[in-house]
Amino acid sequence: MITNFEHIPVLLDEVVNALSLVEDEVYVDATFGLGGYTKAILNTQNCKVVAIDRDPQAKIIADNLKKSFTDRFYFKIGRFSELGKFLKELKIYKVGGIVFDLGVSSYQLDNKERGFSFKLDGPLDMRMSSEGPTAEDFLEEVEEVTLANIIYELGDEVFSKKIAKNIIHHRRNNRIKTTGQLADIIRDAIPKKKSKIDLATKTFQAIRIYLNEEIKELQNGLIAAERVLRPEGRLAVVSFHSIEDRIVKNFFAKCLQNNSLSRHLPELPKKNPSLKILTKKPILPSAKEIKFNKRSRSAKLRIAKRTQFLSTFGEIA
Ligand SMILES: C[S@@+](CC[C@H](N)C(=O)[O-])C[C@H]1O[C@@H](n2cnc3c(N)ncnc32)[C@H](O)[C@@H]1O
């Protein structure tokens, strides 16, 4: 049961401060999880929160929270790339802030039935939602070269070819059904050396990102967010690995280069940035937070503020 799990929210105070909460304003928690950020936002300011999560299990936590914040909290199961559509359904067209806390929650990671963990032996699932192929289905079908590329690109794993080869070799005899089996196949493929992290870490990360289309989701989620933020509205993104952080950084940079208005009105300045970046360097957890919550160690928070200029990606109709 999801209510038996704990997820310690990462960089919580920093995120709540980043949103610069205003009374009666609407904020979006794009990755509700176990509701840590949403609860803190609702307790800090008399505002509203629209929360989204693609994991249907999150609804159990959301339903409980709704009892305490009936008129100030709304929850939607779905992908954050669709946040514009969800807000429209609620007749909300602009918001004061949006937060993304990327990746998986402790509940998803620590529940062996969800199949995300190489430390716990469970069915090889790895889906954040309950839709689409599982990791087991995917590994049964994928071609070796494609798999090697995914592991290299999304896991930054230098032994990607060796790992892909070993996975394909094993699946010829038997379907790979559990996280334990997959972790052993990965570890067997890599030269044994001292490593701070488990040798299966990067490959598990790559398969999870691929299966859940996390890159496309993040790119489209950020675009959707920029479009619905009102001027002065805040965008806060907590990422956990370099691939995610790079996407956020590049997205901010693209919004700085925005010239959507000046193309039509040449007398205006060439650049009309749709975002102002508030964090030149990302905010990192303190040593104290990392000691208390090991999972925060790779977190990076980047914050931006919406300007009055038109959206870099075209306004919503
Ligand atoms: C790190 S957890 C968030 C934890 C949350 N901040 C808290 O304090 O409890 C990330 C959550 O985002 C959800 N998620 C990831 N990608 C998503 C997407 N594209 N659309 C909607 N939810 C997503 C996951 O299902 C997971 O529950």
277: which strand partners? 304
- The model's confidence at residue 269, banded by pLDDT at 50, 70 and 90, is confident
User: Does 263 have pLDDT greater than 80?
Assistant: no
* Cα 150 from Cα 245, distance rounded (Å): 18
- The model's confidence at residue 315, banded by pLDDT at 50, 70 and 90, is confident
Closest CA to 242 of 197, 187, 290, 299: 299
* Cα 55 from Cα 32, distance rounded (Å): 9
Q: Mind listing the pLDDT tens digit for each residue in 220-251? A: 999 999 999 999 999 999 999 999 999 999 99
Using an 8 Å Cβ cutoff, are 223 and 98 in contact? no
Please state at what angle helix 160-173 crosses helix 144-155, rounded to 10 degrees: 140
Using an 8 Å Cβ cutoff, are 99 and 237 in contact? yes
Residue 100 near ligand 1, beta carbon < 6 Å: no
Q: Mind listing the pLDDT tens digit for each residue in 94-118? A: 999 999 999 999 999 999 999 999 9
Region 176-197: mean pLDDT is 92
Distance 2 CA to ligand 1 centre (A): 14
* Cα 99 from Cα 28, distance rounded (Å): 6
Residue 52 near ligand 1, beta carbon < 6 Å: yes
What's the pLDDT at 317? 61
Task: Among 10, 29, 53, name the best residue to mutate to test ligand 1's pocket (greatest count of ligand atoms within 8 A of Cβ).
Answer: 53
239: which strand partners? 300
What's the pLDDT at 192? 83
Closest CA to 9 of 285, 279, 233, 303: 285
Residue 150 near ligand 1, beta carbon < 6 Å: no
Domain ranges of the chain: 2-107+214-306, 130-211
Q: Which residue has the higher pLDDT, 143 or 260?
A: 143
What's the pLDDT at 97? 98
pTM, whole model, 2 decimals? 0.96
pLDDT mean across residues, the chain: 95
Q: Mind listing the pLDDT tens digit for each residue in 31-76? A: 999 999 999 999 999 999 999 999 999 999 999 999 999 999 999 9
Task: Among 128, 220, 238, 293, name the best residue to mutate to test ligand 1's pocket (greatest count of ligand atoms within 8 A of Cβ).
Answer: 128
Class of the CATH-defined domain 2-107+214-306: alpha beta
Residue 101 near ligand 1, beta carbon < 6 Å: yes
Distance 80 CA to ligand 1 centre (A): 9
What's the pLDDT at 123? 98
Domain 130-211 fold:
DNA polymerase; domain 1 (1.10.150)
Amino acid 11 reads: L
Residue 103 near ligand 1, beta carbon < 6 Å: yes
Distance 75 CA to ligand 1 centre (A): 13
Please give the order of strands across the beta sheet that includes 26-29: 73-77, 48-53, 26-29, 95-101, 229-239, 300-306, 275-277
Structure tokens at 110: 């620590």
